[in-house]
A and B are shown apart, each in its own frame.
Chain A
Amino acid sequence: MKTRRLSPDSLTMAAMITPALVLLVLFLVVPFFISIGLSFTNQRLLPGPIPTKFVGLRNFETILKDAEFWRAFLNVLFFTAMVIPLQCGFALLSAILLNGQKKRQRLFQGAFFLPYITPMVVVCVIWSTMFQFPSGVLNSLLKIVSFGMAQPVEWLGNPKTALLSITLLSAWQAYGFQMVIYMAGLQNIPVELYEAAAMDGVHGWKRFTSITWPSLYQTNVFVLIITTIQALQLFTQVNILTQGGPQNSTNTLVHYIYRTGFVIQNIGKASAASIILFVLVVVIYFSLSRLTQNDPTEAKA
């Protein structure tokens, strides 16, 4: 091997990339390996009287036998199953309505996008007054819609409705993101397809099912992946509004990690739970990504 002298230019280049590399190592790579390392120990967050020791796979065993963990896991699945149709469906509807709008499109789009720029903490403050029991806006609305038949609901206080309530406010806050993606997707559909359909006398719902929906295949897969990954990370609104309760009915995986590691300070077990969540994210990401390869519109071409 011959030694080469580094040119001043290479030194500049090295200096330019170093801050990023150092920070990526310090705040992504190192914590990732710390979590792997700690997951096999009984380490506490703050040094305690019990000495740290290697415990093998015991943390993973305890978690997989922990009813609270499985409840959190199922809650996240239920949340995902509810939030995807609600949030993405409304996003697509809004995008279709906005795309056809010539006049005042910017004004309407501006209004539809407002919830997305509203900080989640603020959303929690507003919605918790709307969820008030027995007399909040949502209970009044329920009364009007049911002609006074329905009893007021204790939205966040009842284990049966708490997760649904979290879903509603989450969908309201976040659908703007999916709406914008759908708007881009809709603009990519060739106008000729619609012109040809109009000549064949295809309109309305038929036009949506035969042209719009199939043409949005890639967009749908992308929206599905990103919404699922975000749903898996549900935390802020749960932490603020319900702390995972009542009776664990809104506990989530991230909240479980937070409780275990920060509140109970069992960082070993929390690290193990973090790794389980990470594996879950990777598995879901790669299995959903495979869907992009089955595009029906591509196959025809």
Chain B
Amino acid sequence: MSRRKVADTVRTLVLTVLSLLIISPLIILFASSLKGTRQEILADAGSWKAFIVTKPTLQNFVEVLSPDSMTPFLRYLLNSTIVLVLTVVLTIVVSSMAAFVLYQGRFRGKKLLLAGITALYIIPMETIMLPMLYEVLNLGISDSYFVQVLPFVASPLFIFFFYQFFSQVPSSIGEAALIDGAGPFRIYLQIYMPLNKSALATVAILQGMSMWNQYLWPLLSVSTDNYRPITVAIASFFGSDTILWNLAMAGSVLMMLPVLIFYLAFQRYFIASVMSSAVKE
């Protein structure tokens, strides 16, 4: 074997071992979720048995999904899904329209407005969460879907992101359409949006991942099971002295599965989106 071939084999070997190490915690998750009791999960936790299931059972899933259980996961999953879908759709509409006006509009102070909106990106959500809670408590819109959706819809990052995509569309296309008598909204909807489908996919993936993970804000603003997202529900397992590991594992798998399915189907787009979120900043 040539030196090059040896190097390739070694690399593949190293990558295989590292991959297995990296995904091993996830194997524990899926194996544990199929074990019958929390005692079994804890007893297996310290050995190779953590990675396998001898007598798989769906008991934990039945328990967390049943509507009369203490932990109505169907409700939590539905809440998280509603918040995610609403936020993603509204983010795309609101942020892209704003970006379109910032790019195609002709008004005084346009550059200043764009700079101002971009500068807002420096304010981390974490530093305004409590004042925002104070604000929504006073507005009387806490504990709702709205309160979980609205703060994330107009995002300086995504407005800037769409702006950059739009600025790659030759402005002559828009001007030609204007001469043909098309209004701005038609130009936006029929020219800019179709030309930037990849921007839509990227924003949908990034915003979708971020919304599925929302924790601090719903922890503060949501107080009942009616609107509680799955993140806060899973975290509440940790509140008690004896953690119901079997249910926590089943709940975690339910939260992980949709992400995993989307990821396996669109892996290339996930990675490309994350890459472009970094490059665009």
Binding site for B on A (CB under 8 A): 8-10, 12-14, 16-17, 19-24, 26-32, 34-35, 38, 43, 45-46, 94, 97-98, 100-104, 106, 108-130, 132, 134-137, 139-140, 172, 176-177, 180-181, 183-184, 222, 226, 229, 232-233, 235-236, 239-241, 254, 257-258, 261-262, 267, 270-271, 274-275, 277-278, 281-282, 285
Contacts and interface: CB of A to CB of B under 8 A. Distances in A.
Given A38-B134, A101-B15, A126-B25, A121 B235 contact: yes
15 contacts: A16-B97, A19-B98, A19-B154, A24-B120, A97-B11, A97-B15, A103-B12, A125-B237, A125-B248, A132-B42, A176-B274, A235-B215, A258-B220, A262-B133, A285-B122
Interface stretch (B44-52, B58-66, B196-204): B44-52
A101 B26 contact: no
B213 interface: yes
Contacts of A34: 131-132, 134-135
Contacts of B123: 28, 32, 278
Given A119-B259, A125-B252, A257-B126, 4 more contacts: A8-B183, A27-B150, A184-B279, A257-B129
A281 B259 contact: no
Nearest to B220: A262
Contacts of B28: 126, 129-130, 137
Nearest to B105: A13
Centre residue among B188, B216, B255 by max chain A CB count within 10 A? B216
Given A24-B120, A129-B28, A235 B274 contact: no
B126 A254 contact: yes
A32 B131 contact: yes
Contacts of A30: 135
B128 A31 contact: yes
B185 A16 contact: yes
Contacts of A117: 209, 259-260, 263, 270
A180 B274 CA distance: 7
A147 B260 CA distance: 37
B200 to A, nearest CB: 16
B195 interface: no
Contacts of B245: 129
B135 A28 contact: no
A203 to B, nearest CB: 10
Interface stretch (B16-24, B67-75, B164-172): B16-24
B135 to A, nearest CB: 6
A13 B101 contact: yes
A271 B46 contact: no
Interface string B80-112: 000000000000001101101110110100000
A123 B260 CA distance: 14
Contact of A132 (B16, B45, B156, B230): B45
A21 B275 CA distance: 28
A119 B94 contact: no
A178 B94 CA distance: 29
Given A17-B98, A109-B271, A110-B267, A235 B120 contact: no
Interface string B214-256: 0110011000000000110011011000010100110110011
Interface in B17-42: 18-19, 22-23, 25-26, 28-29, 32, 41-42
Contacts of A229: 124
Nearest to A223: B278
Interface of B: 8, 11-12, 14-16, 18-19, 22-23, 25-26, 28-29, 32, 41-42, 45-47, 50, 94-95, 97-98, 100-102, 104-105, 107, 117, 120, 122-124, 126-135, 137, 150-151, 153-154, 156, 159, 183-185, 188, 209, 212-213, 215-216, 219-220, 230-231, 234-235, 237-238, 243, 245, 248-249, 251-252, 255-256, 259-260, 263-264, 267-268, 270-271, 274-275, 278-279, 281
A23 B150 contact: yes
Centre residue among A19, A22, A35, A119 by max chain B CB count within 10 A? A119
Contact of A126 (B22, B29, B220): B29
Contacts of B124: 229, 232-233, 277-278, 281
A114 B22 contact: yes
A16 B134 CA distance: 29
Contact of A130 (B11, B14, B45, B260): B45
Nearest to B46: A135
Contact of B130 (A181, A232, A270): A270
Nearest to A30: B135
Given A19-B154, A124-B235, A180 B132 contact: no
Nearest to B98: A20
Contacts of B32: 129
A274 B131 contact: yes
Contacts of A140: 46-47
Given A258-B216, A271-B131, A98 B102 contact: no
